[in-house]
Amino acid sequence: MPAISFQSVTKQYPAARGGAGLKALDAVSFDIEEGEFFGLLGPNGAGKTTLISILAGLARPTSGRVTVNGFDVQGDYAQARRQLGIVPQELVFDPFFTVREALRIQSGYFGVKNNEAWIAELLESLGLADKAHANMRQLSGGMKRRVLVAQALVHKPPVIVLDEPTAGVDVELRQTLWQFIARLNKQGHSVLLTTHYLEEAEALCSRIAMLQLGRVVALERTSDLLKAASSNVLRFKVDGALPAAFEGKARVTGRIVQLPAHDAHEIEQHLAVIRQAGLRVEDVEIRKADLEDVFFDVMARGREGAGNPPAAARGIEKAGALS
Ligand SMILES: Nc1ncnc2c1ncn2[C@@H]1O[C@H](COP(=O)(O)OP(=O)(O)O)[C@@H](O)[C@H]1O
Ligand SMILES: [Mg+2]
């Protein structure tokens, strides 16, 4: 039985006054198997949080069905919710309690008694031990994020869902958090993660789905996604406008240009085009393609239109056959 099953989930937000309605999710279907560490990626507005809100029972799908360990999130809300530990994207907390009190109250909410040992372990593992008696409103953003993680895990949920848990948090917390979540995953907890840090997803997730405008545009094992990418990336700094030949191919961040290249021959071709254009380049570097390159490729092709599916997205057909 899958840990989470999304079955043709569609979410239509009603039209605001004068505007058109918005289809935030369009027939999203995929399963997360028990024990998997699964990544859900997509640009802002792709629908990740909407999908997680539906999973959490906080929003209703317009159509479709979601189950957690077989429990329907609508028909069997209490059972489904008990399976889930959800770390929300927004920092929501009650300012009147201390950290330990917040965790005790959350335990009570799930009917977990005698939870002190696990609460102590959570505080310790998340670097919160010396903040146990601090008031929630006295904590920094990063510390509040740790408490939200602890709160989500207080009932030892078999399925852990993290919605951009590391957005805007320091490197230390990111490392503490991933060590802890990876340990829980090894112990058998299933994990669904959304993040903008693609190197985190590449390192942690065994499978990845990419969402774009409410649709699944790629769904593959992480290793297969990386295999489908151009194997190399030529990276350099440039003064001046790029030749038209690179349009749609190059990824530009300020002066830094990154160009996919399959082999040495293509790298030479790129360099020849640059030379002919009379551009001065600096800090030339060749590196292996990573998940960020794949993501960029999938999203760019998605924008070009459905008629040109990205090589990296071919796994969708396979996934469709499963459900
Ligand atoms: N309550 C809402 N009412 C109307 N539109 C919404 C609501 N929540 C989200 N949206 C819209 O749905 C789309 C998906 O949003 P969201 O699920 O937050 O995306 P993500 O988490 O991937 O950034 C966005 O276009 C967003 O503006
Ligand atoms: Mg979001």
DSSP 60-72: --SEEEEEETTEE
Q: What is the mean pLDDT of residues 271-297?
A: 90
State how far the alpha carbon of 254 is from the alpha carbons of 242, 258, 271, 275, in Å. Answer: 12, 11, 19, 20
The H or E element spanning position 271 is helix 264-276
pLDDT in tens, 149-170: 999 999 999 999 999 998 878 8
Among all bound ligands, the one having the nearest atom to the CA of 162 is: 2
Among all bound ligands, the one having the nearest atom to the CA of 14 is: 1
Q: Which two tokens stand for residue 230?
A: 């151009």
Cα–Cα distance between 200 and 22 in angstroms, integer?
30
Helix axes 141-153, 171-186, angle to 10 degrees: 10
Q: 4-225 adopts what CATH topology?
A: Rossmann fold (3.40.50)
| Smallest CA separation from ligand 1 atom 18, residue | 49
- Residue 282: closest CA among 233, 246, 238: 238
Q: Which two tokens stand for residue 244?
A: 């038209």
Residue 229 has pLDDT above 70, yes or no: yes
Q: How remote is the CA of residue 163 from the centroid of ligand 1, in Å? A: 13
Q: Which two tokens stand for residue 116?
A: 């002190």
Task: Give the per-residue pLDDT at 305.
Answer: 66
- Residue 80: closest CA among 119, 50, 47, 110: 110
Distance of CA 80 to the CA centre of its chain: 21
Cα angle value 236/240/246 (rounded, 5°): 60
| Smallest CA separation from ligand 1 atom 1, residue | 13
pTM of the model: 0.86
pLDDT in tens, 285-314: 999 889 988 898 888 888 776 444 444 443
Residue ranges lining ligand 1, Cβ < 6 Å: 13, 22, 24, 42, 44-50
Among all bound ligands, the one having the nearest atom to the CA of 211 is: 1
| Smallest CA separation from ligand 1 atom 9, residue | 50
Task: Please count the other Cβ atoms lying within 10 Å of the Cβ belonging to residue 62.
Answer: 16
Do 299 and 216 form a contact (C-beta atoms < 8 A)? no
Task: Give the per-residue pLDDT at 248.
Answer: 79
Q: Which two tokens stand for residue 59?
A: 């929003």
* Percentage of the residues of the chain whose pLDDT score is greater than 90: 67
Distance of CA 112 to the CA centre of its chain: 29
